Amino acid sequence: MRGWMIGMAVVGLCVAGVSNAQITYIDDHFESGTPEGWTLYGGARVANGFLFNDPYSPPSGEKWGVGQDAWGGTVDGGLFKSFYDHYLPNEVKYFTALVEAYSVDWGFNPTPGHVNIRIGKGPGLLTNPDDPSIVWSDWYWGPWAYLTIQQPCLEGWETVFVDWFAPWATGPMVAKVDNVVVWQTPEPASLLLLALGLPLLRRRR
């Protein structure tokens, strides 16, 4: 029994050992006032002021972000960037972005769910946000919040998108994104093995 427990502990340490690398692929804040390697589409622009948020002031305390605003009309746009993903066993990848999507009617009463924003990723060097291979978060309407999706690691190019859309105008509206981060880290199961393994080793000693 003891041998089996030590064996499990060693397995746990080994699994954690080969997969404890945390890799950050993208960590972009647009504070240079430029797209920083992202391709902007639709009405997206880098700016330091948007409707309802001028000067630009997200909770991160930054000065520049990407977004689109409109007095009526529509907002329809986004941005994408490709990166080369490295496969490591037992690791999982996270895609996060700080976003806001807000709309009101002509009396400035909020119109929840009218303009929405989402984050997604697809395999390969994609350029079309309508590509059916893209996996998306749920659509989001509301104040500044972090959207996150979790995906398995793979070896090869991948493309991350942040995309917004409002089908028609209820009144003034805006969609914004900042702090886009893509990173990978050991999956929870590996960390659990490590957590289980360490006390067993300590007890043995």
Question: What residues line the site for Ca ion (CB under 5 A)?
Answer: 29-30, 62, 64-65, 178
CA distance 160 to 95: 8
When the beta carbons of 65 and 120 are compared against Ca ion, the nearer one is: 65
For the bound state, the minimum distance from the C-beta of residue 153 to Ca ion, rounded and expressed in Å, comes to 27
Q: Rounded to a whole number, what is the largest CA-CA distance in the chain?
A: 72
For the bound state, the minimum distance from the C-beta of residue 123 to Ca ion, rounded and expressed in Å, comes to 28
For the bound state, the minimum distance from the C-beta of residue 112 to Ca ion, rounded and expressed in Å, comes to 25
When the beta carbons of 33 and 152 are compared against Ca ion, the nearer one is: 33
Omega into 199 within 30° of 0, i.e. cis? no
Which residue blocks in the chain are alpha helix, DSSP H?
2-18, 188-204
For the bound state, the minimum distance from the C-beta of residue 128 to Ca ion, rounded and expressed in Å, comes to 26
For the bound state, the minimum distance from the C-beta of residue 179 to Ca ion, rounded and expressed in Å, comes to 7
Tell me the two tokens of residue 131. 């590509």
When the beta carbons of 144 and 157 are compared against Ca ion, the nearer one is: 144
When the beta carbons of 28 and 91 are compared against Ca ion, the nearer one is: 28
**Chain residue at closest Cβ approach to Ca ion:** 62
When the beta carbons of 45 and 86 are compared against Ca ion, the nearer one is: 45
Instruction: Give Cβ neighbours of residue 199 (< 8 Å, ≥ 6 apart).
Output: none
Instruction: Give Cβ neighbours of residue 20 (< 8 Å, ≥ 6 apart).
Output: 186
Residue spans of beta strands (DSSP E) within the chain:
23-28, 39-42, 45-47, 65-71, 76-85, 91-103, 116-123, 135-136, 142-152, 156-165, 172-186
